[in-house]
């Protein structure tokens, strides 16, 4: 049975989760809670479909929102200036590579699109070699955003934790 990392080691692992123009406050709140659980920073690219002081957002994040390391950025162009592209992964149903085929490292940037539109074609085209997909065998168009973030972030965490 694999050894469980100690509390101290577990929180040295850090990732950046980027939400491109999220629309549903409850999803963002749930994602924030997941980020707190794994010590990841949440980046929110505006515009959003809700106010960042929205009660639904904070309710979904429960009492963990106060512990969340997060930042809102006014545009995608500003966001790209902050990211390290050689360590960035874009999650999209159009990715040609499975998320399990990526080799994640501490500090990676995991980018997710909005609930209704995903990531724009222009972003996917520019970074096609960095696009990952979550395989789905059933007749669904996409997964809920908070589920997709959870799957991607926990896989990244799992890989890095195995290295420590």
pLDDT tens track for 49-102: 888 876 766 665 557 878 899 999 999 999 999 999 899 999 999 999 999 999
User: Interhelix angle for 145-163 vs 25-38, to 10°?
Assistant: 10
CA distances from 128 to 16, 70, 113 (A): 19, 27, 14
Alpha-carbon span 142 to 120, nearest angstrom: 15
Whether 12 has a pLDDT exceeding 70, the answer reads: no
Q: Is there a domain that residue 1 lies in?
A: no
Does a structural domain hold residue 21?
A: yes
Lowest mean pLDDT among 10-14, 44-48, 66-70, 134-138: 10-14
**Residue 116 CB neighbours (<10 A):** 11
In a domain, 2, yes or no: no
Averaged pLDDT of the chain:
88
Where residue 104 sits, what CATH number does that domain have?
Answer: 3.40.1280.10
Structural domain contains residue 102: yes
Greater confidence, 72 or 5?
72
Residue 84 in any domain: the answer is yes
Would you say residue 81 lies in a domain?
yes
- Tally of structural domains, the chain: 1
Distance CA 64, CA 61 (A): 6
Q: Does the residue 95 lie in any domain? A: yes
To the nearest whole percent, how much of the chain has pLDDT over 70?
A: 87
Provide the residue range defining the domain that includes 39.
7-163
């Amino acid at each position: 049975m694999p050894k469980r990392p100690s509390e101290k080691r577990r929180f040295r692992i850090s990732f950046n989760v980027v939400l491109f123009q999220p629309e549903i406050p409850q999803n963002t709140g749930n994602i924030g809670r997941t980020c707190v659980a794994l010590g990841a920073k949440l980046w929110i690219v505006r515009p959003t479909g809700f106010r960042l002081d929205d009660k639904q957002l904070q309710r979904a994040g429960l009492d963990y929102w106060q512990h969340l390391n997060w930042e809102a950025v006014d545009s995608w162009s500003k966001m790209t200036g902050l990211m390290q592209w050689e360590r960035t992964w874009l999650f999209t149903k159009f990715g040609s590579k499975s998320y399990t085929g990526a080799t994640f490292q501490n500090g990676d940037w995991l980018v997710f699109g909005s609930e209704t539109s995903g990531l724009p074609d222009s972003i996917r085209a520019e970074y096609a070699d960095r696009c990952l997909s979550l395989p789905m065998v059933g007749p669904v168009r996409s997964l809920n955003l908070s589920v997709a973030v959870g799957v991607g972030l926990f896989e990244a965490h799992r890989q890095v934790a195995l290295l420590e």
